[in-house]
């Protein structure tokens, strides 16, 4: 047998490899790991935003509920109610209507019940703190107008203190003026 013919004959056969090379597998693994990391980070960010928006919604709802209570009590605080109640004198109430309404609202709803339970760091174990919403009455800035301010710290880290302000003209004040 001829040795040269034998080698020539073997070189004509092609060897086909099935599967992927190690380099292709490593590149695919790196791409898969980076994609899964990005999806994980997006999921954590979405959960964090969801928790903050839920806390903000409950804070805003508590403030709106209290504002509606203040407006309801203002509509019930009429001349007839003041005259029938031993605590107030209508002539005295007419001398400073905003102050009288403010004092009445403080006695009706002493505790605003506006404490919202918020997780301060959603990624860690359950660490929570109470974030109170404080309500203040100001009847001296604008004569005849009661200014109610709600101040609170926003659940987001970028937002510091926020204030919501409503101004109320006492309902009974229109009956104080006679012609």
In a domain, 29, yes or no: yes
Q: How many domains does the chain have?
A: 1
Is 56 contained in some domain?
A: yes
Q: Is the model's pLDDT at 161 over the cut of 50?
A: yes
Taking a C-beta distance cutoff of 8 angstroms, is the pair 123, 44 a contact?
A: yes
Which has more pLDDT, 122 or 175?
175
Residues 135-151 have a mean pLDDT of 91
- Is residue 62 within 8 A of residue 116, CB to CB? The reply is yes
Q: Nearest 10 degrees: CA dihedral of 93, 99, 104, 107?
A: -140
Please tell me the distance from the alpha carbon of residue 106 to that of residue 119, in angstroms, as a whole number: 30
Task: For residue 156, tell me if it sits in a domain.
Answer: yes
* pTM of the complete model beyond 0.85: no
């Amino acid at each position: 047998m001829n040795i040269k013919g034998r080698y020539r004959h073997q070189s004509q056969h092609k060897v086909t490899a099935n599967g992927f090379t190690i380099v292709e597998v490593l590149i695919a693994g790196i791409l898969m790991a980076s994609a899964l990391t990005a999806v994980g980070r997006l999921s954590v960010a979405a959960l964090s935003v969801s928790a903050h928006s839920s806390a903000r919604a409950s804070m805003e709802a508590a403030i709106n509920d209290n504002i509606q209570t203040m407006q309801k009590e203002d509509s019930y605080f009429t001349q007839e109610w003041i005259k029938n109640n031993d605590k107030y004198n209508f002539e005295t109430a007419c001398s400073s209507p905003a102050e009288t309404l403010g004092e009445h609202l403080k006695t009706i709803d002493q505790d605003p019940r506006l404490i919202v339970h918020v997780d301060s760091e959603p990624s860690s174990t359950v660490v929570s703190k109470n974030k109170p919403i404080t309500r203040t009455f100001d009847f001296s800035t604008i004569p005849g107008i009661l200014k109610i301010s709600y101040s609170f710290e926003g659940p987001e880290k970028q937002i510091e203190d926020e204030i919501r302000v409503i101004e109320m003209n006492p309902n009974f004040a229109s009956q104080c003026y006679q012609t």
